[in-house]
Structure 1
Amino acid sequence: MGEYDVVTAALAVACAAVLGLTVALLRTRRRWRTAVGERGWLLERERESAAEAAIAAERDRIARELHDIVSHNVSLMVVQASAAREVLGTMPDEAATALRAVEDAGRGAMTDLRHLLGLLAPAQDGTDSDPGPAGDPGADLVRTPLTPQPGLDRLGPLVDRISFAGLPVEVRISGAPRPLPQGIDVTAYRIVQEALTNALRHGDGGKAEVTVRYADHALRVEILNTGPSVLTGTTPAHGEGPAPAGPGPHAEGTGRGLLGLRERVAVYGGDLDARRRLGGGFRVRARIPLDRP
């Protein structure tokens, strides 16, 4: 084989090698682009899923807040309006007092609702941006700076409202009270509010006891109320009136409000138990860790 043939063969081999490398490079680049495109699609789907989950969680949170606000205040208004109707003709002063309580509960509901709506769409100056229509009975509540959600520091006014509505409440504080994270503080308040509201709505006389215990590593909240006995179907000695038929709307602790409370408590790694007591009445007990990272 001559020198020319050798050079030609070498060039052919080199061209084939370059062509092979080019094809391999193009294939590798195509695979890389495909992989990048698929990863971008997956990341976009993950972002969409995360956004949908965040929207669902926020929707649930708003639903719980609305339930707590409306259920509590409307229950108080119904109880007080019923009391006013019964004594309107014979005891007008007591009827007027009950009607003022209805008005206060309504104003409280409006304030809380405006606060919630203000958090969803606040004005630039941090006040309620909706001035309300002319003649609105809650017009004097507008333009109020947004305040923190209720916590255990507002337990006293809550107990006063429930007691005035007809359910005597005794409060016990165990341990040294200390500042709590806002979310836990609000959750503890809502637990007491929901339990007392249910006791007022479904109870038949009796009383309630609220115990808040500040332990080293957890906050414990317990609400007990008296009522008809599960075993005998009659009211305890300190209660009066006939026992209601059946176990009652919240006998198994599965009402919408209690489900919302369980979700609230679970967020902080705690647990909540709600059930009828054998001796009569209902018990709600919650434990919320305070040292969870």
Structure 2
Amino acid sequence: MLARPVAMTGMLGAAVGVPYAIHNPPQDWPDWSSPPAASAPADPAAAPAPVATAPPEVPGPQYPTAGAYGSPMPLEGGGFYPVEQVLRMDVTKDWVYRNWPRKSTGLAEPGLFGVRVPLVTGTGMNDLAGSLSYYFNATGQVDKIRFRGTTADTNRVIALAQRQYGLAWQPPRTPGEQLLQSREGGKVVGQLRTFPEPVLWNTKPHGSYGVDLEFNRPGSGHYVTNDTPKLQVPPDTTAAAAAPAEAAKAEKPPAPAATSPQLQNAKRPDFRWPN
């Protein structure tokens, strides 16, 4: 019977204390009585510029002089490069060496020094991914640029080839091919080929089209070489092996006629075979 009076007393205290606490809050309580002030619209010009973060350090082999060869960039490259900034002939070997920590040198091209690097221009559908090769002449100028890779949308690279290198549309040589060329004295100095990949995946749209691109500096004496695939037909070994046998057969003298008594009797006009 004591629980009910105690509960009634607690409810009476709450009814008195809660309104008092609301109307007489402590000094450190927030003021909820007035509506919040409307926030001013953000000024894009006053917003701080995004701070570029340095690429993570890639640990390398540990040896006494390892610190002299450390690189802050990943092994594959220094990031994304807009296609307009890399498909140029005014770059130098030093520029290539600074921007890519991994490169292949000494490519097979007579009279030119080649440097090949991995290239990813971004993550958009019209970006490129593949290998880019620069070929430098003896004076350090780029005489040739080659790119082999893939994309999901060919419009961007086609527009660049037309605008920057003057390539024009040509009749396709195979179904599904897009072909653009520029010529010098009847020879092809620039060429861009795009073609659907043999296998297309919905989960890998960036690999929908193959891209085969080559630019040569006009007047450099270097041109595009289109290697037409040829069907390799093996020699007919059966006919070659049968030829000596046929020759030996032709040289073999005919067998002498049989002179058995039975055959001689068969030549007689009155000869009859036994029944």
TM range (shorter): under 0.3
More strand by percentage: 2
- TM-score by length of structure 1 reads 0.19
Q: Which has the larger radius of gyration?
A: 2
More helix by percentage: 1
Higher relative contact order (CA closer than 8 Å, sequence separation 6+): 1
- TM-score by length of structure 2 reads 0.19
